Chain A
Amino acid sequence: LGADLSSMIHSLGIPRDNTRHRVLDTFQSPWAETSRSEVEPTFFIPD
């Protein structure tokens, strides 16, 4: 029967409302348990 995915979706950072937000660029780990801290995403610093 699967499971209620709302907490999993929330832990991913997917917004509850209708706004869209990319989540894979700041993806910490496949499991919430190993996502204790945020990770540094790609960024660019002009010279």
Chain B
Amino acid sequence: TSTERYYLVFTEWVRLLQRVTSDDKIIFVFIKQLMDKGVLSDSDNFIGFVKAALELSVYSFKESDPTGEVFTAIDALSKLLIKLFILQDFAGYSRQEYLNTVFSIILLVFSNDHEEDEATFNERPYFRLLSNFLCEWATLRGHNFIKVADQKTRKELLSFDAEFYNIFASYLHSFQPFAFPGFSFAWISLLSHRMFLPVMLRLPQKAGWEKLMLLLIDLLKFLNQYTIKGKISDAVSVVYKGTLRIFLGISNDVPQFLIENHYELMNNLPISYFQLKNVILSAIPLKMLVPNPFDSDLALENITECQNPPVVFYDPVSDIQALKKPVDNYLRIPSNSLLRTIINGLYLTEYDIKGGVGFDMLTTNNKLIRAIVLHVAVEAGLENGRTSSNAVFNTKSSYYQLLFDLIHDGTIELKFQVIQVMIEQLRYPNIHTRWFIYVLRDMFVTEAWEEQRTEVQEIILRSLLERVIVHNPHTWGVSVLFTQLLNSDEVNLLELDFINNIPEIKHMFVQL
């Protein structure tokens, strides 16, 4: 059969690569013959050949002595596919189409293997194949593809570089754990691969960030779905640990990515992941020196960085949708009717089951609240730069008013959600951190709440406490605000009923 003939040809290729180096002239001759003699002369037989080669390579892996060389065939296949990518004419079709075809074939063979017989499926050969693509591409692209002799090809490959990674990322998205649980750990290993993750983080003009966020959100969604209170499987715990380690690596190497994408990460982070939340929100720009947050004499208005608006990669305005007009109109001229519209829009029509600390479901739209709060922050930051701090660091400003009114008129849950999201903005020294410290500190001490005052204070303290009670890291902004409240002359925390009446909490605050 043609499949059997493909097996023979591929086996010859594997043998050849064991005898000569991959840039030997024989290799070029062999590939040319593949094309000239009709093995790879059109897309149908290309698909047939690659399918057969992949199936044979996977079979070879499964049959190999596990202590020996198990990847010989897979390594040879990846070498062939990359060679074809470089050497082809690309007259009738594009590099993109070629790559899409290759990945599609892999995905189809993989799907069959994964679904058909659970007992024999093994993720490793597929992982190896994809890992090899990344390694081969990394070698090829060194110093802007300088090793590619032909100038025209070199230019084409250079402009294709970002697309290569984004196509790879798109297919990785198809392989995600929800779709193929038997590939989960290989998938996470690919997402964090040394020749994928740091590249995606550093592509010019942040060209890899959108797709990288897609993949990280895939991972967080999976964790979110299977982090059930009291019932977390070992496997899911291991997924969590790997995820945490990956985020720590990103925070170390490219903290700017976490800084600019914190909004979407918070939207998808499982609600009980306080430490991971802190890791993401603690990211500090690479060269920034940060003053001691526990210094009670800290004057934020004198810190230069506290004037700067943080960059936001994804504009939250797109998520406000129907409420954008009422919110923006309110920020221009506050009114009760606008407030009604906004608040009504924040409640869900169905309960959202969420395993939180002290609650199991939500009736408010957490994402919409986050979008509005961040939007207010962005606008306040802009105004601070445009006019003056007095316009913005002012309880009479519409920015403050909106947040105050949402809390004042909302249910306890809405109060909690708004305050929680505001506290998320207490990050590294920047204008948003500074502004929310101002707002939250004022909200903590103001008498304007009237009979709701204690409730609001309790929610603010609870929300801060759940961020500081966990192991390190803690964000700079949360530490600053917490220190200010502990040292406040205006309110003695130890006199508050909700602290006094619970021995464990009282003890904690006395220590703090």
Contact call B138/A42, Cβ cutoff below 8 A: yes
Min CB–CB distance B324 → chain A (angstroms): 36
Query: Complex Cα distance A44/B140, Å?
Result: 9
A5 with B248: CB separation less than 8 A: yes
* A-side contacts of B248, CB under 8 Å: 5, 8-9, 12, 14
CB-contacts of A13-47 with B (<8 A): 14, 20-32, 34, 39, 41-44, 47
CA distance A32 to B275 in the complex (A): 19
Q: Is the CB of B471 within 8 A of A3?
A: yes
* Number of residues of chain B lying within 8 A (CB) of chain A: 38
User: Smallest CB–CB gap between A4 and chain B, Å?
Assistant: 5
Say yes or no: B469 contacts A24, CB within 8 Å.
Answer: no
Beyond A1-B470, A29-B192, 15 additional contacts (C-beta under 8 Å) are A1-B274, A2-B470, A2-B471, A3-B471, A5-B244, A5-B248, A12-B252, A14-B252, A20-B252, A23-B252, A24-B194, A28-B194, A34-B189, A42-B142, A42-B194
Contact mask B125-155 → A, CB, 8 Å, 1/0? 0000000000000110011000100000000
Q: B residues touching A (Cβ–Cβ < 8 Å)?
A: 138-139, 142-143, 147, 188-189, 192-195, 197-198, 201, 238, 241-246, 248-250, 252-254, 274-276, 278-279, 286, 469-473
Which chain A residues have a beta carbon within 8 Å of chain B's beta carbons?
A: 1-5, 8-9, 11-12, 14, 20-32, 34, 39, 41-44, 47
Specify which chain B residues have a CB less than 8 angstroms from the CB of A8 in the assembled complex. 244-245, 248
Nearest-Cβ distance from residue A19 to partner chain B, whole angstroms:
11
CB–CB A1/B471 < 8 A: yes
Known: A2-B274, A42-B142, A47-B147. A12 touches B242 (CB 8 A): no
B201 cross-chain contacts in A, Cβ below 8 A: 24
Q: Is the CB of A27 within 8 A of B249?
A: yes
The DSSP consensus for interface residues of chain B is: helix
A24 touches B250 (CB 8 A): yes
Q: Are A22's CB and B245's CB within 8 A?
A: no
Contacts A8-B245, A12-B245 given; indicate if A27 touches B197 (C-beta within 8 A): yes
A12-B252, A14-B248, A20-B286 in contact; A27/B471 too (CB < 8 A)?
A: no
Chain B contacts for A1, CB-based, 8 A: 274-275, 469-471
Q: Which of A3, A14, A27, A44 contacts B192 (CB 8 A)?
A: A27
Q: How far is the CB of A30 from chain B (nearest CB, A)?
A: 3
Instruction: Decide: A30 near B188, CB < 8 A? Known: A25-B198, A42-B139.
Output: yes
Pairs of residues from A and B, 10 with the lowest C-beta to C-beta distance, nearest first = A2-B275, A30-B242, A24-B198, A44-B142, A2-B471, A2-B470, A27-B194, A42-B138, A24-B253, A24-B249
How far does the alpha carbon of A20 sit from the alpha carbon of B287 in the complex, in Å? 10
Contacts of A23 in B (CB 8 A): 249, 252-253
Chain B residues with Cβ below 8 Å from A3 are: 275, 471
Check B142–A12 contact: CB distance below 8 A: no
A21 to B244, CA, bound (A): 19
